[in-house]
């Protein structure tokens, strides 16, 4: 370890300690959302929770078991659910969810015959 690395680490530890003791302000601590606790407060089973809030049940399972973490937008959504589960359920139920049209490949362009002259691009 280089001397500069050690000094940087020492400064970082000192800043973290100062924050913990309340001496430093203006820092935001990002704690991961406890998905299992959020769901438990709603008193719903995992599949019911996922269906009500339009989440993937397998993703909910993986978040709860610590195998994955929700992305930032989903984490905020989970915090909103935790803050007011009834209101969020009402808002989700009001959203009309249109299913996208099935994918259809564009028709293939006709190929120029072998004897036809090709126009240069550009």
Domains of the chain from N-terminus onward: 30-93 (1.10.260.40)
Site of tokens 């973490």 = 69
Residue 4 predicted with pLDDT over 90 = no
Indicate the DSSP class of residue 70.
-
What is the residue-averaged pLDDT of the chain? 81
Evaluate whether 61 touches 24 at the Cβ level (below 8 Å): no
Rounded Cα–Cα distance for residues 61 and 118 (Å): 57
Q: What is the pLDDT of residues 51-103, one digit of tens each?
A: 999 999 999 999 999 999 999 999 999 999 999 999 999 988 887 555 555 55
Residue closest to 75 by CA, chosen among 100, 90, 93, 55: 55
Q: Which of 28, 41, 39 is nearest to 65 (CA)?
A: 39
The structure tokens 């009834």 sit at 86
Number of Cβ within a 10 Å radius of residue 69: 13
pLDDT at 122: 47
Q: What are the tens digits of pLDDT across the range 99-114?
A: 555 555 556 656 555 5
CA nearest 69: which of 34, 29, 28, 30? 34
Other CB atoms within a 10 A radius of the CB of residue 59 amount to: 16
Tell me which of 29 and 50 has the higher pLDDT.
Answer: 50
What is the rounded CA–CA span in Å between residue 1 and residue 42?
49
């Amino acid at each position: 370890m280089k001397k500069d690395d050690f000094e940087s680490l020492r400064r970082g530890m000192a800043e973290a300690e100062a924050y913990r003791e309340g001496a430093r302000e203006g820092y935001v601590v990002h704690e991961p959302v406890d998905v299992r606790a959020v769901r438990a407060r709603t008193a719903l089973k995992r599949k019911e929770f996922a269906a009500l809030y339009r989440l993937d049940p397998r993703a909910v399972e993986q978040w709860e078991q610590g195998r994955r973490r929700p992305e930032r937008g989903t984490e905020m959504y989970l915090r909103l659910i935790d803050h007011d589960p009834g209101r969020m359920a009402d808002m989700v139920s009001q959203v009309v969810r249109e299913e996208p049209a099935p994918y259809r490949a564009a028709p293939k362009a006709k190929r120029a015959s072998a004897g036809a002259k090709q126009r240069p691009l550009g």
